[in-house]
Structure 1
Amino acid sequence: MSDHYEVGRRIALLRKEKCYTQEKISALLNVTPQAVSKWEQGNALPDTLLLPLLAKLLDTSIDYLLTGDSFAGKTGPYDGEYQKEGYYWGMEPSQLALQILEHLQNEAAGRRLLDLGSGEGRDAVFFAKHGFQVDALEVSAPGAEKIRRYSQLSNYTVNVIQADMIGYQLSGAYDVIYSHGSLQFLPLTQRQKHFDQYKQRTRGGGLNAHLIFVEKPFVTPAPDWERNEFFYQSGELSRYYHDWEILQCGEKIIDCNSAGIAHRHAVNCIIARKADV
């Protein structure tokens, strides 16, 4: 049974609970009744931009629509930090985000980008500033709110999607799928499935770029490392992209001061390009 089918089943059940017809939903969302029918039959997913509106109409969360899981009682790992006034990760873009622009030769205008685990939005807003159409996926409610606030203050549009990346079904195609220090939350048994989806949902000639944490016996886990975080092994990330052009890939040891305690991470960064078909 496909994930699309399960999403469609939930949409249909919630629509009927609200006593809405497919025609009513289509009119409120400005889509055709045929589009709604395709969603409910599992033949297509709603466009990302429609998800917040659809979830609001059906009185549910995006997370429940796409994964069957509810946000009730759920918290993100950095909720406490994101509720504070300052920005836990800062507001300057990451080095990996800067490198994306270099590989695209600054031709970002109009390209669609997905930022997985967007945190407080430092990279999401940076990408929007340079002309990307940005979808920022973030599980944390205070994190998502901070992205919205940062986006509004900077006057650059970011489409914020509050949902868990685990089980999240991508809709449409992206020119860039990006993550910076978030994919360690993918359970080991689901990694291949998620990377396959990221690759499938990338347009020809598009990029995937990730920074992940690598297990090293001489590097002590960070003081804020969570139980549901899982290290990668050296070389693992490049294996997921063995059939793509790898533009850059390398490991290094970096210094970090998150949680207010100096420590180190072993990280692996990759930028890979899908064949232009």
Structure 2
Amino acid sequence: MNKRKALGYTQQTLADKLNVSFQAVSKWENGTNYPEMEMLPMIASVLDTSIDSLLGYKPFMVSDYDKRYDTADYYWGITPNNLCYEIMKLRPPIKPLKVLDIGCGEGKDAVFLARNGYIVTAFDLSEAGIEKGKKLAEKWNTHVDFFKADITDFRATKYYDIIFSSGVFHMIKPEIRKEITANLKECTNKNGIHAINVFVEKPFVSEPPDKDANWFRWNSGELFMLYYDWKLHKTEEIIFDCNSGGIPHQHCMDIMIAERVK
């Protein structure tokens, strides 16, 4: 259901694509019936996902992040990322601007942007993170359209003015990075911006203590090269101290803000 909604499909739309009745789709989603096994590849293809995801298979990183977020406190705190302020300077919400927050975690950045007048959609793989994001939005009496999705499966079908992602793109395997960024670029309005940071491989920076099993660091400058045809407002590489997981360590990160000019 979440994947269908993320793609903007109604039950009837999905039914038409699969050549079944919308009642069949409804029964699949409410658990009263299940599709035949031979239909799974077709359903996965139409929803642009994997059969494992359809069957509810959860890799290690889901349970890992769910455990991190299953606390009263916010694992990453509630202070907005500095990129949020840079977004506001470059694209102030003087008119309705649609934002997509990819890998929103516990929702601190999505809620901050919504509080400041942006129309925000946000997704994460962690159910616990999504629930905490909803509570944070409720606390601030604002709205974010939260949903659950996997960045490796998600493909945008709607257009956005701003696409934001912090500390998430290392979950994307190298072989699908170009495909995913091309999709996000295509689904960005003219003069829209992407504000993204990625963890970068450096031989002198040790692995973080809270590293998960699905960590794929980027090469220095790799992200910037994928936006060679956009106007680059910011390209910065930094090394910073971090205390996530309770053990002091360092990260190297590339930070980019790019604008679609064509």
The answer to whether TM tops 0.5 is: yes
1:51 is aligned to none
Give distance in 2, aligned partners of 1:183 and 1:58: 36
Give distance in 1, aligned partners of 2:253 and 2:73: 25
**Number of corresponding residues:** 236
**Residue 143 of structure 1, aligned match among 129, 132, 137:** 129
Structure 1 portions without partners, runs of 5+: 26-53
2:85 is aligned to 98
Structure 2 portions without partners, runs of 5+: 35-42
- C-alpha change, 1:178 and 1:90, in structure 2 (3 Å) is same
Give distance in 1, aligned partners of 2:77 and 2:55: 26
Runs of 4+ in 1 over 4 A off after TM superposition: 7-10, 54-60, 63-66
* Structure 1 residue 16, shift from structure 2 partner: 2.6
* Structure 1 residue 87, shift from structure 2 partner: 0.1
Q: Is the 8 A contact 1:120 1:143 kept in 2?
A: yes
**Residue 11 of structure 1, aligned match among 14, 27, 39:** 14
2:254 is aligned to 268
Q: Is the 8 A contact 1:192 1:240 kept in 2?
A: yes
**Residue 74 of structure 2, aligned match among 71, 87, 92:** 87
Q: Secondary structure at the match of 2:54?
A: coil
Q: Is the 8 A contact 1:76 1:139 kept in 2?
A: no
TM-score by length of 1: 0.78
- Give CA-to-partner distance per residue, 1:118-143, whole Å, 9 cap, x none: 00001000110111110111110101
Q: Secondary structure at the match of 2:21?
A: helix
Give the partner amino acid of 1:72: G
* RMSD of aligned residue pairs (Cα, Å): 2.8
**Residue 114 of structure 1, aligned match among 74, 97, 100:** 100
- The equivalences for 1:1-277 within 5 A come to 11-12=14-15, 13=18, 16=21, 18-19=23-24, 65-68=47-50, 69-70=53-54, 72-74=56-58, 75-104=62-91, 106-107=92-93, 109-275=95-261, 277=262
TM-score by length of 2: 0.82
Identity, % of aligned pairs?
33
Give the partner amino acid of 2:233: L
- Give CA-to-partner distance per residue, 1:2-41, whole Å, 9 cap, x none: xx9xx88992249637347xxxx9xxxxxxxxxxxxxxxx
Q: Is the 8 A contact 2:80 2:109 kept in 1?
A: yes
- C-alpha change, 1:76 and 1:203, in structure 2 (3 Å) is farther
* Structure 1 residue 225, shift from structure 2 partner: 1.1
- C-alpha change, 1:86 and 1:198, in structure 2 (3 Å) is same
Q: Secondary structure at the match of 1:18?
A: helix
Give the partner amino acid of 1:128: A
Give the partner amino acid of 2:100: L
Give the partner amino acid of 1:131: G
- Give CA-to-partner distance per residue, 1:143-170, whole Å, 9 cap, x none: 1111111111111100001111112121
Q: Secondary structure at the match of 1:78?
A: helix
Q: Is the 8 A contact 2:79 2:108 kept in 1?
A: yes
- Give CA-to-partner distance per residue, 1:94-128, whole Å, 9 cap, x none: 11111111112x23541000000000001000110
Give distance in 1, aligned partners of 2:207 and 2:94: 36
Q: Is the 8 A contact 2:101 2:120 kept in 1?
A: yes
Give the partner amino acid of 1:99: E
* Structure 1 residue 72, shift from structure 2 partner: 2.4
Give the partner amino acid of 1:153: K
Q: Is the 8 A contact 2:98 2:119 kept in 1?
A: yes
* Structure 1 residue 187, shift from structure 2 partner: 1.1
